[in-house]
Chains A and B, each alone.
Chain A
Amino acid sequence: MNELEKNILSQMNRRHFLSRTSLGLGAAALSSLLNPKSLFASPGQQSYHSRLPHFTPKVKRVIYLFQSGGPSQFELFDYKPMLIKRNGEELPASIRGEQRLTGMTSGQASFPLAGSQFEFQRHGKSGIYTSELVPYTSKIVDELCFVKSMYTEAINHDPAITFFQTGHQQTGRPSIGSWLSYGLGSDNENLPAFLVLLSKARMGDQPLYSRLWGNGFLPSLHQGVQFRGGDDPVLYLNDPPGLTKMSRRRMLDYLSELNMHQYEKVLDPEINSRVSQYEMAYRMQTSVPDALNISNEPDYIHDLYGEDSRIPGTFAANCLMARRLAERDVRFIQLYHQGWDQHGDLPRDIQTMAKSTDQASAALVMDLKQRGLLEDTLVIWGGEFGRTNYSQGKLTKTNYGRDHHPRSFTIWMAGAGVKKGMVYGETDEFGYNIAKDPVHVHDFQATLLHLMGIDHEKLTFKHQGRRYRLTDVHGKVVKGILT
């Protein structure tokens, strides 16, 4: 057996292969073991799909509005009058404790507390505090569930976003959407289960990597499919001029036959992935233009989401697309909005950022509600960590910055399975440490999976000798926010 064949064979789960050796290497014998369902599952996981979800889900679709860069909770949702009162005073060492700082502020001689320059007020029947930067979100607080006690260990963007998406700070593991695609599959056979839309409101802010919506060690058909803004959401999806649909179909059929022959010879599960992805692409040729065509959306919808929603590639336009995709039962729709990393010039820049997301996020929640979709859809809004209560750089009357702060931050959720008009968890008066009900990233992931009917400890995949799961070996469902 030469090196190449060894490599090919090792791609298949070695243990599973060995468990079948008694039946011989014969292609014929093996192909009789294949059933259609296994084409889309890695060997050894065949009967898995029939056992999921573990219990009745409350949520069938998730729209995750990920705010990349780390939005400052002090200017948006976490009202801390103590910081305003003590503006300019030094952060007490007793509060700071052993928290590590990034290289950007560790050299600072002082850590002056910076109170928010934006007004906070109570809103809605639930009387939740939100700032003047988010007037539209303020109008719908009675539908939202705020978690003010999120925390993470990651201190920088890439590890922090990777942590949120994959459950581990180092790369290589599947993202949430991939796990869901693997566990629950797609409810719409013409669209992938996991779609990604990107936008940014400021140039030059923290970058994103496509591995953040990657499939890790899961079969590659579970990766997030990124739709671009504009006319051509998926490059090279359409047939080139001169190729008819009929020809395309026959080509795909024949290609599929060839691929199946190869699979039987080398047992590479990626071949199956590739076959199914070709099929999906074929179906997407019709489904994608229909799903993403927002030209027939009436004016009042654009009024609801804001004028930005007419401009492809903006957050508002992406929110509108997300709603359309939710109507088509896409399981996990992830939006990334970049630009929240306000190390400096925070008061100026956060206004830009808030303006670019506030109306559309609120509009999305209410648009889903009026269509009855909020009953089984979950909308999540949040970033990878929070920001410090002290100023990075000089604190002046009009300007300050904030560094990364993993120890406490805020996210909000709306929709199925979470309580409405609620605030869960609290930070201390300095907004530095968590005072009540901490929620770790793993707890958030466990809760998300729970809402979708999955026991986070049971959705696993065996890789490199041990079983992995999204929440690694941690995570507890946060019962306090569940209805």
Chain B
Amino acid sequence: MVLADISIFIGRFHPLIVHLPIGILFLAFVLNVIFIKKSDHPLYKSISLIILIGAIFSIPAAAAGLLLAESGGYGDDELSLHQYFGIGLIILSFGVWWFRRRTQNVNIHLSMVSTLIVVLMITGHLGGNLTHGSNYLIDYAPSPIKSFLANNSETDSNRDFSSIDIDSLVIFNHLIAPIFQAKCISCHQDSKTQGGLNLTSTEGIKKGGDSGQLLAEGDPFNSLLFHRVTLDRRNSKFMPPKGEPLTFNEIKLIEWWIDNGASLEKNINDFEVNEGLKKAAKELYLIDLNPVPFIEKIKVPTLVETKLNEIRSKGFRVNTLSGNSNLLDIAFVGKGPITRDHLKAMNEVKENVVWLDLSGSGLQDGLLEGIGEMNNLVRLRLDNNPLTDKGVTHVAKLTNLESLSLYNTQVGDPSIDTFKAMPALKSIYVWQTHVSDASIESLKSSNPKMELVRGFSF
């Protein structure tokens, strides 16, 4: 129902006016307790009058409350509960006043007033929940009380994601929802939907509210959500109207999220992570979105020094990546050409080798088959060898390979197809090969993350 502004204006005085009857009725209760043994005291005798005055004042308070309820934005269940309790309270207070004059029994007096106060407190608490949200009192409670009263609220202390596995981050759930939780949910949840907007459910977000759709996918500046939180603070439509406004990083995150489609389900890996996002995520949630290098993630079997010495004796330089590592960095430094016999020595440590340098070793195509089985290879140097496209097809299996050097070999354009299929490959060195400029350009557009490095001249 569309209300005239005047009705909303008056309705908004309800939280103000209502404190008057509350104070008066409370006074009645206090006096009753203090003067319980002195029922002849004039102050005791005035209690009935006080209750009457309180009851009378609660009528305009309730009227304003009804107008406020009409203006909407309150969860129906909670609203009706408060409403009925409030009306019941008025009736009860009149009743207590009338009944009190009929009896002299001080115990009955006390119990009636106590009941009145209990109903008043319940009504008052429900009213508070309507205004501030049901978590208002719990949010900043000391920890033991908080956990005892814990409900579905995720409060600020849950903002530390530093230990979470990055790959399992769901953008909305982990990055955006906490912002809503902290700054928006108190007025936009199941039990209180200001502006008809409920942010606690997928449907609610998708449906939007009275002012329209919340999100315009891919277009933050035309999204109502983004618009409202970035308005001038003094604007009446600024969100959130009370409490802390969204911080810069939070707004940046929301902007980025909407810009990338405002998905409610997508995982971090489906998104392009830029520097701004990394910074915001780090500052808000202590998440480091920098990709963890492959060599820091993999687990390989332990090495035995004697095995390494065996490989050394065949003409290889063998080093571990670091003092405590089981990852190997191997280079051929012996007398070439390298043969199957040489490579056989590395069979037992196939999984441990991450860096392999066979440049200028006279390596032939056939031998690349064995190398193709070292699936933890990250960097492979095959330059200055008589290799052709045929041999290079064997390295296609190296799904973790990030760098491949083939300069001064006989490879050509057919190998580009091999490279295209390799997911981790970032740099390929093709100077002094038959790879054409045209293919390099075409690869740039199909796989922008791959760099083919040709020869350089000024």
Interface residues of A (CB under 8 A from B): 50-57, 136, 139, 187-189, 300, 303-304, 329, 359, 362-363, 366-367, 369-372, 375-376, 453
Least Cβ–Cβ distance between A361 and chain B, in angstroms:
12
The yes or no answer to B427 lying at the interface (CB within 8 A) is yes
The yes or no answer to B317 lying at the interface (CB within 8 A) is yes
| Contact A375 to B379, CB < 8 A, known contacts A50-B323, A53-B323 | yes
Interface residues of B in 420-458 (CB under 8 A from A): 427, 429, 431, 453-458
Interface residues of B in 396-429 (CB under 8 A from A): 403, 405, 407, 427, 429
Task: Assess the A136–B383 pair: CB atoms within 8 A.
Answer: no
Q: How far is the CA of A134 from the CA of B431 in the complex (A)?
A: 26
Return the contact of B322 from the options A57, A329, A367, A375 (Cβ within 8 A). Answer: A57
Contacts of B453 in A (CB 8 A): 369-370, 372
Q: Per-position contact with A for B379-406: 1 when CB-CB < 8 Å, else 0?
A: 1010100000000000000000001010
What are 7 A-B pairs at a CB distance below 8 A? A51-B324, A52-B323, A57-B322, A187-B317, A363-B458, A370-B407, A371-B429
Look across to chain A and name the residue whose beta carbon is closest to the beta carbon of B384. Answer: A371
A/B pair count, beta carbons within 8 Å: 64
Least Cβ–Cβ distance between B353 and chain A, in angstroms:
14
Q: Per-position contact with A for B320-357: 1 when CB-CB < 8 Å, else 0?
A: 01111101000101000000000000000000000000
Look across to chain B and name the residue whose beta carbon is closest to the beta carbon of A53. Answer: B322
Task: Assess the B405–A372 pair: CB atoms within 8 A.
Answer: yes
Return the contact of A372 from the options B317, B321, B407 (Cβ within 8 A). Answer: B407
Contacts of B49 in A (CB 8 A): none
Q: How far is the CA of A367 from the CA of B432 in the complex (A)?
A: 13
The yes or no answer to B121 lying at the interface (CB within 8 A) is no
Interface residues of B, dominant DSSP = loop
Task: Assess the B431–A370 pair: CB atoms within 8 A.
Answer: yes
| Contact A370 to B456, CB < 8 A, known contacts A50-B323, A51-B323, A375-B403 | yes
The yes or no answer to B295 lying at the interface (CB within 8 A) is yes
Least Cβ–Cβ distance between A107 and chain B, in angstroms:
45
| Contact A56 to B322, CB < 8 A, known contacts A371-B431, A372-B403, A375-B403 | yes
Q: Name the 10 nearest CB pairs between A and B, nearest first.
A: A372-B405, A372-B429, A51-B323, A366-B456, A370-B431, A56-B321, A53-B322, A55-B322, A56-B322, A370-B456
Contacts of B317 in A (CB 8 A): 187
Task: Assess the A370–B325 pair: CB atoms within 8 A.
Answer: no
Q: How far is the CA of A362 from the CA of B457 in the complex (A)?
A: 10
Task: Assess the B322–A453 pair: CB atoms within 8 A.
Answer: yes
Least Cβ–Cβ distance between A131 and chain B, in angstroms:
17
Contacts of A300 in B (CB 8 A): 457
Contacts of A375 in B (CB 8 A): 379, 403, 427
Contacts of B324 in A (CB 8 A): 51
Q: How far is the CA of A367 from the CA of B379 in the complex (A)?
A: 19
Contacts of B456 in A (CB 8 A): 304, 366-367, 369-370
Q: How far is the CA of A55 from the CA of B379 in the complex (A)?
A: 17
Q: How far is the CA of A57 from the CA of B293 in the complex (A)?
A: 13
Q: How far is the CA of A55 from the CA of B327 in the complex (A)?
A: 11
Task: Assess the B457–A304 pair: CB atoms within 8 A.
Answer: yes
Q: How far is the CA of A363 from the CA of B458 in the complex (A)?
A: 8
